[in-house]
Amino acid sequence: MHRRLAIFTYKVLVNTNPIPITTAASTTLLYSQCNPLNPRTNGFAFFRLLSFTPGHRRAQDPDDPSNLMKEDGVSVCSQMWIENFREPDRIVSNLTTYLRRFELWVLAYQKVCADDMGAYMPRSAIQRSALEDLLALRNAVLDNRFKWGARLDFLIKSPKDKTDYQSLSKRKIKAILTTTQPAAFQDKIVQEVLFMILEPIYEARFSQKSFAFRPGRNAHTVLRVIRRNFAGYLWYIKGDFSTILDGMKVGLVISALMRDVRDKKVIDLIKAALTTPVITSRMEEPKKKTKRKYQKKRVLAEDEPKPDPYWLDTFFGFAPEEAEKIPSWGHCGILSPLLANICLDELDRWMEGKLKEFYRPSKSDVIWNSPEGEAEQGNTSWPEFVPTSGPDKTRKMDYVRYGGHILIGVRGPRADAATLRKQLIEFVDQKYMLKVDNESLPIEHITKGIMFLDHVLCRRVVYPTLRYTATGGKIISEKGVGTLLSVTASLKQCIKQFRKLNFLKGDRDPDPQPCFRMFHATQSHTNAQMNKFLSTMVEWFRYADNRKKIVNFCSYIIRGSLAKLYAAKYKLRSRAKVYKIGSRNLSRPLKEKKGSSPDYHNLLRMGLAESIDGLQYTRMSLVPETDYTPFPSNWIPDHEKALLEYISLDDPKTLEDQRCSIRKQGLVSSQDYISMLVWNYKRNAIAMDQLSLIKSGGNNTEKEQQLLLGSDKDPYDQKTKEEEDHEDGFDVAEI
């Protein structure tokens, strides 16, 4: 019986083993191992052999995408940010290591898919075929086989791209190769990977004077910095270097990039993106067909992202001049703004040096009188109060840059501003090969009003009563003269933007025009769209001194435009009739059903009518006040603050400094305090804390503190060392 079972087991193993046994010696060896009558084996070995599942364990494939994703891509990016902010001045020479990290490629794929499809794709939803194509794209980049601007041969395609490029006709292929096409999906992925690698390197190095195309900084930050730092400046220099954003010579870009990055593969990849020609020819426009009176609504495909809503599209039309132009260089895509900031960072550093050279403190100045110019003093009740300039006042200068536009404020004579302008023209010509004349860099006085980001900087002279205590304790009150910097939204610029969007006509007496684009929308949907637009405008003018006035004007234009639209749609002839039926904020329905119908409130209560939200901010009292929240002098974004705090806490020196400081001040940290409590209770069986020692105030305070701290010279401890060792050993044995 046993012999038959052993032979059967042997046959099963022979049939299922992927490596066939051919030699007689191997057969004898296997038979001897599985034979239960063999004295060298036992029953346990026999049953282990029966339960053994044949097959060899395969080694992990290094090219398997699932084996390459060892860590989350976000954690890899976080580590890169921490490393670069810990050592911001080091020259980076090995970025290929991060370029090999497949986690970054998967994260880039998710971000590009979210932009392309309008929905975030989780990591678990990515198909294996897409991961294999993504790995092929990574290997092509590492092996220098990747080509920018591919039109037909793709290593990876978008999930919504179902086109079979091999079966296209010659006419379609010619159209693809000779006309302007959107950036390829694989190009966007490579751009995203390079952006994730380069952004933390340069964000740790960029100047604090630049605010465009950077995380945590926007136009509101610029306005708050101007309100905080530009008070008291008489002369302003505005510069428009936006032609740099249109494109620069490849050599200048690469030289600026190689100041901090010396990785040849990354440099060559960006250089190829800049030098590869971009096909920008246009297709022949077909003959325009006559529009029908009523156009049909286009139905979107299942995977097609929805276009921007009307309110957002309208708000984009209000973009100020300084924020309209976004750089796009070659095939760099989203890398272009970062490269533009890298090139213009040299201008920021040069200007920072000029700020230090120009600063001349005066002891008689009230605000700036320190040698470094950092410590500011003044009347705390007037945070923006700055005395007027004069020969005995401090000469100071400040500078901000938003994209390709700069603003320089000078506190001093106009001759100093003219000298600075001359030096700036020479620097731009030498560094960027950009010819700039005096007309491109006008010097304007604050009394004329300085336009920047659609806000006007002007000065208001004030005569406050200054009270101070003289020698002897006598309080003196006298009139002072100073200026307040006013940052107001430009009403003229607002009218210009509304006219560009066909919301009104006329300059002196603007007349709202009907918004026919919302003709087929319901009253509820139209009001909701315009409310979102007005809410966005309220947020945009958040730091303007005339926030109430400018937002109320925008509400007036929108309300008049909708009233004319509803008058034309419901044939009510005039705006007055619309306001009479729909109320001042257009919250009541303008179209009634034929015949007798219940009241609108009854229909709304029964759920048979659509709720209509009235327009917001129809009265000036409904508009929120201007935000005058104090802005710190050395402000940094929240993410940089968190990074610096993490790096500081991660440094052992910081913890040691804190301990030394606690000891010098005679304090006890919470960890040491708990340790003393536990040790004191274990050693003396007394629950005593530091607070009880302080509150007791007795004569034995020093002795009790020694008892709490567990000193070796404790007067209460009369036991010998041998007894303590014996007790400690007994306690350990019991535990």
pLDDT higher than 50, residue 6: no
More confident call, 505 vs 732: 505
Over range 58-67, report the average pLDDT: 68
Over range 367-381, report the average pLDDT: 51
d(CA 213, CA 156): 29
pLDDT at position 9: 42
pLDDT at position 373: 52
Over range 26-39, report the average pLDDT: 42
pLDDT at position 609: 58
User: What are residue 483's phi and psi, to 5 degrees?
Assistant: -130, 150
d(CA 355, CA 357): 6
List, for residues 229-265, the tens digit of each pLDDT value.
888 788 999 999 988 888 888 999 999 999 999 999 9
Task: Give the lowest-confidence range in 142-156, 345-359, 692-706, 709-723.
Answer: 709-723
Q: How far, CA to CA in Å, does 98 sit from each of 80, 93, 590?
A: 9, 11, 61
Over range 77-89, report the average pLDDT: 93
Structure-block tokens of residue 115: 């932009």
Picking from 498, 501, 519, 517, the residue whose alpha carbon sits closest to that of residue 454 is 498
d(CA 418, CA 425): 11
Computed over every residue of the chain, the mean pLDDT equals 79
d(CA 497, CA 324): 13
The CA-CA-CA angle for residues 155, 73, 337, to 5°, reads 70
The model carries a pTM of: 0.78
What CA dihedral angle connects 523, 524, 525 and 527, to 10 degrees? 80
d(CA 603, CA 456): 49
The CA-CA-CA angle for residues 556, 557, 563, to 5°, reads 85
d(CA 390, CA 436): 31
Picking from 374, 350, 4, 379, the residue whose alpha carbon sits closest to that of residue 209 is 350
pLDDT higher than 80, residue 350: yes
pLDDT at position 3: 46
pLDDT at position 275: 93
pLDDT at position 555: 94
pLDDT higher than 80, residue 294: no
Question: pLDDT band at residue 469, thresholds of 50, 70 and 90?
Answer: confident
Structure-block tokens of residue 647: 């790096």
Structure-block tokens of residue 237: 């220099």
Segments in 258-413 forming alpha helices (H):
264-275, 310-316, 321-324, 335-358
Task: Give the lowest-confidence range in 46-50, 192-196, 440-444, 653-657.
Answer: 46-50
Task: Give the lowest-confidence range in 180-189, 287-296, 500-509, 640-649.
Answer: 287-296
pLDDT at position 392: 65
What is the per-residue DSSP string for 623-683? SPPP------TT---HHHHHHHHHHHHHSHHHHHHHHHHHHHTT---HHHHHHHHHHHHHH
- CA-based diameter of the chain, in Å? 120
More confident call, 479 vs 289: 479
Q: Packing angle between helix 43-50 and helix 24-34, nearest 10 degrees?
A: 110
Picking from 558, 552, 579, 550, the residue whose alpha carbon sits closest to that of residue 567 is 579
More confident call, 538 vs 25: 538
